[in-house]
Structure 1
Amino acid sequence: MASSSSTSSINKSYQYDVFLSFRGEDTRKNFVDHLYEALHRHGIHTFKDDERLKQGEGINNQLLKAIEESKLFIIVFSKKYASSSWCLNELVKIMECQKSNDQIAYPVFYDVVPSEVRKQHGPVGEALAKHTNKDIRKWREALTEAANLSGWDLEKTADG
């Protein structure tokens, strides 16, 4: 007999098919906008912060709730992704949800290679080094964990 927790995860319905996590400064007006439009065109209900955040409500709470209510996550790692504490906090939540629920994360490496994210070297390491926050340890762990997932390295993909 299945346990009640596995039964509830099977029957869970999600508000969003996909949650996009990205650093807007690097990717919003190019890769992420194209990805969002392609998902939308195929009927995939996607959370993208500039499309879905409600005015007058706390941003952090909305983002965390949207993560919990999403079936899949696409994490677009870029050179400045780790410079944003918002992105890093999203990433920690995404990795928590992936471990404890039936949600799945897919990393996309845009203008960075997986090892830079995994080991926090190069531009990713430089961006992360600017933080003097108590959360740095859990951010490092989440970056490493996410970079160890099978995903897409756009430098090795035809036409990026």
Structure 2
Amino acid sequence: MHRTFLRHYHRTLVANRAAKPCDVFINHRGIDTKRTVATLLYDHLYRLNLHPFLDSKNMKPGDKLFDNINGAIRKCKVIPIFCDVKPSQLGVVDNGKCAMEDIRRFNWALEEAKYTVGLTFDSLKGNWSDVVTSASDNVIKTLSEMEGEKKMQRRKTPPILHV
């Protein structure tokens, strides 16, 4: 099933590549997760012909952080991977550098993540390969479901005929 979906998805992806900045947005907590699970996941998804976004891989010097990240994250479905952290431990540190509106938005996003079923991983006990495989399987399943939902929406919308 995964191969059939990936083959179909890759054909669709190539046709829509210019309009769609990424298939998967990989967010990470810090440099430690960027260098481990985030990069491993990025490389694995890339080898599956998906188009993941990870700041260190997709951005170059001079790129605007907010513009690139905001554009990449639009319409994403969140699948949290709690790596060496429990969901209840998530929080925003207000160091005075961000606008209050951004702090509120970040807090809202973290609250959403806390109450979204995700994958948990303890790097002292777990296997990196297992978490990358599990996350990739979840991403592929989610993309497949989203593609199915799009097809259903297209069928429900009657065609417009111009006479």
Report the Cα offset of residue 35 of structure 1.
1.1
Q: Does 1:131 align with 2:104?
A: no
- Select the structure that is richer in strand: 1
Equivalent residue, structure 1, for 2:111 = 144
Q: Output the CA distance in 1 between the equivalents of 2:93 and 2:22.
A: 33
User: What SS does structure 2 have at the residue aligned with 1:16?
Assistant: coil
Report the Cα offset of residue 14 of structure 1.
2.9
Q: Output the CA distance in 1 between the equivalents of 2:103 and 2:89.
A: 16
The C-alpha deviation readout for 1:90-143, integer Å capped at 9, x for no partner, is xxxxxxx4xxxxx311111011011212xx3xxxxxxx3452342333322211
When the two structures are superposed, what TM-score results if normalisation uses the length of structure 2?
0.55
What number of residue pairs does the alignment pair up? 107
| Equivalent of residue 80 in structure 2, options 77, 92, 107 | 107
% identical aligned pairs = 30
User: What SS does structure 2 have at the residue aligned with 1:109?
Assistant: strand
The answer to whether the 8 A contact 2:21-2:71 is kept is no
Q: Which runs of 5+ in 1 are unaligned?
A: 1-11, 69-96, 98-102, 121-127
Q: Which runs of 5+ in 2 are unaligned?
A: 1-15, 132-163
> Per the alignment, do residues 55 and 143 of structure 1 end up closer, same or farther by CA in structure 2, a change over 3 Å counting?
same
Runs (4+) of structure 1 exceeding 6 A deviation are none
Supply the AA of the counterpart residue of 1:140.
Answer: N
Q: Does 1:18 align with 2:61?
A: no
**Max Rg structure:** 2
Alignment of 1:10-159 (within 5 A): 14-68=20-74, 97=75, 103-117=76-90, 120=91, 128-132=92-96, 133=98, 134=100, 135-155=102-122, 158-159=126-127
The answer to whether the 8 A contact 2:53-2:72 is kept is yes
Supply the AA of the counterpart residue of 1:111.
Answer: D
Supply the AA of the counterpart residue of 2:114.
Answer: A
- CA RMSD, aligned part only? 2.6
The answer to whether the 8 A contact 2:87-2:113 is kept is no
Q: Output the CA distance in 2 between the equivalents of 1:129 and 1:23.
A: 12
Supply the AA of the counterpart residue of 2:23.
Answer: D
Supply the AA of the counterpart residue of 1:62.
Answer: N
Equivalent residue, structure 2, for 1:71 = none
The C-alpha deviation readout for 1:23-71, integer Å capped at 9, x for no partner, is 3412122111111111112111111112211443322212211222xxx
Q: Output the CA distance in 1 between the equivalents of 2:32 and 2:21.
A: 27
